[in-house]
Amino acid sequence: MSTAEVVAIGAVTDRPLDLAAHEAAVADRRAGAVVSFQGVVRDHDHGRVVTVLEYEGHPTAEAVLREVAAGVAADPDVYAVAVSHRIGRLEIGEVALVAAVSTAHRAAGFAACARLVDEVKARLPIWKRQVFADGTEEWVNCP
């Protein structure tokens, strides 16, 4: 049985995300690896210039985020998991997603962090509106 815990889930928030706080939250004396990820708003998508993103979340988004984190934390190689996602208007360069995990070894840490990010992106009911330099926009990940 895993002794992992889901910690410091800043949840779904309109406030800036802090990578260092997520890494500190998963720190564990047993851990030889703390692996983290930041999803940053970039200035392009499929060859088009992006000027701003806006994330909108379903009321269940935070519960889904916790569920995903708990699933990763159930891995016996994982000591702790922390993950948060922004909503609202984000400018280029701002952080939209932060994830951190701690494990005994780096391979398990990289795998767990990748799994966490992939599951969040696949399951989290948060939709992204991209505004392009030419004034057009598109919604991404909408059902």
More confident of the two residues 24 and 3: 24
Mean pLDDT of 86-108: 97
Mean pLDDT of 102-107: 97
Mean pLDDT of the chain: 92
pLDDT at residue 11, rounded to an integer: 86
Please state, in angstroms and rounded to a whole number, the distance separating the CA atoms of residues 81 and 68.
Answer: 10
More confident of the two residues 11 and 17: 17
CA 82 from chain centre, in angstroms, equals 9
Q: How far is CA 37 from CA 2, 18, 30, 64, 132, in A?
A: 23, 11, 21, 19, 26
Tokens describing residue 121: 């992106």
pLDDT of 120 strictly over 60? yes
Segment holding 39, helix H or strand E:
strand 33-40
Question: pLDDT tens digits for 53-94?
Answer: 999 999 999 999 999 999 999 999 999 999 999 999 999 999
